[in-house]
Amino acid sequence: MPVEVVYKTDVLRSLRKELLVLQGFKKPVCERHISVGLGFMEKSFPHDVFPTGAVHDFVSDNFSNAAATNGFISGVMGNLFKNAQKINAVWVNASNKIFPTALKLFGIDPHHIIFVNARNPKDVLWVIEEALKCSCLTAIVGELQDIDFTASRRLQLAVEKSGVTAFIHRQNPKSKNPVACVASWKINSVKSIPQNMPGLGFARWNVELTKVRNGTPGNWLVEWQAGHFKEIKNQLKAISSHRELKVS
């Protein structure tokens, strides 16, 4: 009997893997295995790798969380680029709020990013889609208020062809409609803990992976420490137990 059970789970596992490939998750080859410095949350992703060449959706509800979200995106992008010597990203928004000098603190060379300002939300979407078709880029960040499901499907299709990673950042969205994406995130800024010195500590965020296709959602407390993501363990327990309490 146990032999049969083992056999069954093996078959199921291999079938699941096949399914992943059919859903557009190509098996990462050695060279495509790009670490974005989020080692501690890799178990949550399909194939245990941060999905590049896909659409990631971020939602923020106020100016501070918007900055935190952009900070998290910048950290991931900084790891994606890793000393690249060319222009490799396009950052689209209605009006530019990003302070280029600060991007360097997230490991990005600001002169390798092209910033596009488009007043009209339709133009923002058009620029994102056009940029996503350009396979010589590595990542696109699009900041807008709302995106409907159809538009997000178009982005997903563009991404599947070109392999560019898209970060769609919705700020104060009017509606919480579903979005075609591989992962949904919510990043909130959390009070920092000073390091033996008066003043501010490292930037600290509560990273919530609310939805991930073929993965397990999760919640982490993360600090950006001198160019690296670092998980803060003790607090996480406190928060998760708090959540459990709330749930129960």
Partner 1 sequence: MEQRFASIFFPFLLADYTVRQYAHLKNKAFVLAEPERGRSVVKAVNSGAAAQGISAGMVVADCKAILPDLQVLHYKKGLAEKLLHNLGMWCIRFSPVVAVDLPDGLIIETTGCSHLWGGEENYLKTIIQRLKDFGYEVKGAIAPSIGGAFAVARFGEPSIIKKENIVAALSDLPPAALRLQPEELERLDQLGIHHIQSLLKIPRSALQRRFGATLLKRTDQALGNETEFINPLIPPEPYTARLPALEPICTAAGIEIALQELLKQLCNRLQKEGLGLRRCRFITYRIDAREQQLMIGTTQASCNQKHLFKLFEEKISTLEPGLGIELFVLEAPEVEKTSTIQETLWNHGENKTNTEIAELVDRIAGRVSIQNIHRFLPAEHYWPEFSFVDTSDLKQKPQTEWRTNFPRPLHLLPKPELIQVTAPVPDYPPMLFRYKSRLHKIINAEGPERIEQEWWLQQGLYRDYYCVEDEEGKRFWLFRSGDYGDKKTQWFVHGFFA
- Rounded to a whole number of angstroms, the minimum distance from the CB of residue 10 to partner 1 is 43
In the complex with partner 1, which residue's Cβ is closer, 74 or 165? 74
In the complex with partner 1, which residue's Cβ is closer, 20 or 102? 102
CA-CA distance, 246 to 248, in Å (whole number)? 6
Residues that bind partner 1 (CB under 8 A): 63-64, 66-68, 70-72, 74, 86-87, 90, 95-106, 109-111, 113-118, 123, 126-127, 130-131, 134-137, 188-192, 194, 198-201, 203-205, 224
Provide the 10 A C-beta neighbour count for residue 133.
13
Q: CB of 223 within 8 A of CB of 230?
A: yes
In the complex with partner 1, which residue's Cβ is closer, 46 or 70? 70
CA-CA distance, 203 to 195, in Å (whole number)? 12
- Rounded to a whole number of angstroms, the minimum distance from the CB of residue 245 to partner 1 is 21
- Rounded to a whole number of angstroms, the minimum distance from the CB of residue 242 to partner 1 is 16
CA-CA distance, 189 to 204, in Å (whole number)? 6
- 58: tokens are 């971020």
3-class DSSP assignment, residue 127: helix
Distance, CA of 195 to chain centre: 28
- Rounded to a whole number of angstroms, the minimum distance from the CB of residue 90 to partner 1 is 8
Instruction: Give the DSSP letter of residue 191.
Output: -
In the complex with partner 1, which residue's Cβ is closer, 105 or 157? 105
Find all residues with CB under 8 Å of 206, minimum gap 6, and list them. 187, 188, 189, 190, 219, 220, 221, 222, 239
- Rounded to a whole number of angstroms, the minimum distance from the CB of residue 74 to partner 1 is 7
Angle at the Cα of 78 from the Cα atoms of 240 and 173, rounded to 5 degrees: 55
CA-CA distance, 103 to 191, in Å (whole number)? 21
Closest alpha carbon to 141 in 175, 161, 112: 112
- Rounded to a whole number of angstroms, the minimum distance from the CB of residue 16 to partner 1 is 37
In the complex with partner 1, which residue's Cβ is closer, 20 or 98? 98
In the complex with partner 1, which residue's Cβ is closer, 65 or 156? 65
In the complex with partner 1, which residue's Cβ is closer, 92 or 180? 92
- Rounded to a whole number of angstroms, the minimum distance from the CB of residue 3 to partner 1 is 53
